[in-house]
Amino acid sequence: MPVLRCGPARPVCPRLHRCNSGIDRCTKAGILGPVACGWPWVKRARGLCPVGGAMGRNVPRCGAEMKPDARRRPRRETRSITLQDVAERCGLAKATVGFALRGDPRIKPETAERIRAAAAELGYDPSRQDWARRLSLRKSGREAPTQTVYLFFPHAFYRMAFYTRMLNGLLDVLMPIGYSLTTGYRVDDAQAPFGRRLPPVVRSGGVDGAVLFPQWDDRPTVQALRADPAFGEKPIVCLVVPVPGCVNVRMDEERAAYDSASHLLDRGHRHLLHLYHPFSNGTAPKERIEGVRRALRDCGLDPAKHLHLLENDTDWHDALQATSEYADGLHAPAKARAHPLIRYLLSHREVTGVLAMNDAYALHAYYALRHVGLKVPDDIGLIGFDDVIPIPDARGRNLLTSVRLPLEELGRTGARLLLEAIRSGRAPRDPAPLPAQLMVRASTGPRRA
């Protein structure tokens, strides 16, 4: 094996060792093929010698061996897979591949599946090309999509399964097509870290649209989004509680309340109490009350006499709070008797059916009734609303009759409509309200004579 020798003292070898001096030229000892005698290398301080082995001040030459055609170590391939690579693998147009990977319904399912399989095989990662796509669109005067959606939710989000079910539905649609979901409190929430300002990612134009989980009044958040220059007229989807100027996805709560009241009326109950939160001034609670009134009228009863409305000013949204609040057998009975619901029922003995605002309210009511000696369902028929929190009996079976809301489908529908609005640039029409289902269990029964 030939050996390449370096002439001047204190050069730097090709194995990337550094020296304190420069190299004028390299001389050879033997035939090195493409390496010629007197080959100039780096004529500056701290250069690199193409042979190998460190050269010091007192080392006149380098004795490292070198293969004739290996002057440089081959560079590692670092080029990322592009959309064009996937298109060439599939034999399709680049635009068709892009539409398929974004979940465009115009692409045939079998074609889209073949494209996704090829992209997975090649290791295509669209996020690595995002900067190039955005730069290209910006040069042509168009806004580049971020493939990010912002979700606004109330502070009680983490304590209520009602919201997490809808979140699952959103993720079912957004995640498979590469969309990201960024979350945070609504602008009117006291716990929001930015006060009444929108979060920075929204104000910097980093989202393509927004989804609002329900609260009694979502208008402040919508107004803040519309007034922000970076968001402007981007699509907004509101779930459950409709807001003008947004895509609204609702449930048929009027029909659900009608079915709940009819179920109690069919079992002989004639005086029904609707328990709700004092801030329930949105459309959904009004629809529920109208559903109960219609059921009473269909039964030949006057709603003004047979429907009792009670506002609950206690925060009963947390199911875990109900369990701990009434676990104290010494003080819980006194606390239960002091609650407005118990006081009302004890003073209005004709009321034998309670329609709770949600399952958490029903759970609180169940514990309070039990502590004052009122049995469910013997004395009071109890119905929840959303079917996400069970009330277990001695065998662990859920005994709460409740309205099962299509919460996951609500999230999926909202996500699909949001994507449609992002792609088309036009807000789709509000879909028909999604149906709910009454799940009859052991908390309701015939009225005791």
Domain identity same for 169 and 120: no
Domain identity same for 128 and 203: no
The closest of 184, 15, 147, 225 to 422, measured between CA atoms, is: 147
* pLDDT given for residue 410 in this prediction: 97
* pLDDT given for residue 136 in this prediction: 66
* pLDDT given for residue 158 in this prediction: 80
Across the range 30-48, mean pLDDT stands at 39
Domain membership of residue 449 (yes or no) is no
* pLDDT given for residue 129 in this prediction: 66
The model's confidence at residue 57, banded by pLDDT at 50, 70 and 90, is very low
Residue type, 394: A
Q: CB-based contacts of 296: which residues, under 8 Å, 6+ apart?
A: 261, 265, 272, 302, 303, 306, 307
Each residue's pLDDT tens digit, 356-389: 999 999 999 999 999 999 999 999 999 999 999 9
Q: How many domains does the chain have?
A: 4
Domain identity same for 18 and 132: no
Across the range 329-350, mean pLDDT stands at 88
Q: Answer with the residue of higher pLDDT: 117 or 68.
A: 117
Q: Do 56 and 10 touch, CB atoms closer than 8 A?
A: yes
Strands 437-439 and 3-6, by their bridges, are: unpaired
Q: Tell me the C-alpha distance between 285 and 242, whole Å.
A: 12
- Separation in Å, CA 114 to CA 120, 167, 312: 10, 29, 56
Q: CB-based contacts of 210: which residues, under 8 Å, 6+ apart?
A: 149, 150, 151, 152, 202, 225, 231, 234, 235, 236, 237
Q: CB-based contacts of 260: which residues, under 8 Å, 6+ apart?
A: 291, 292, 355, 383, 385, 403, 438
Domain membership of residue 95 (yes or no) is yes
The model's confidence at residue 333, banded by pLDDT at 50, 70 and 90, is confident
* pLDDT given for residue 101 in this prediction: 87
* Domain encompassing residue 371: 253-404
Across the range 247-275, mean pLDDT stands at 97
List helix spans (H) across 204-339.
219-227, 253-266, 283-298, 303-306, 319-325, 332-337
Domain identity same for 394 and 307: yes
Domain stops at, among 60, 77, 94:
77
Q: What percent of the chain has pLDDT over 70?
A: 73
Domain membership of residue 372 (yes or no) is yes
* pLDDT given for residue 190 in this prediction: 52
The domain that holds 119 is classified in CATH as 1.10.260.40
* pLDDT given for residue 185 in this prediction: 86
Least confident of 88-97, 108-117, 180-189, 385-394: 180-189
The closest of 243, 273, 248, 436 to 362, measured between CA atoms, is: 273
What is the reported pTM? 0.71
Domain identity same for 57 and 92: no
Which 3 state secondary structure label does DSSP give 24? coil
The domain that holds 268 is classified in CATH as 3.40.50.2300
Domain identity same for 192 and 228: yes
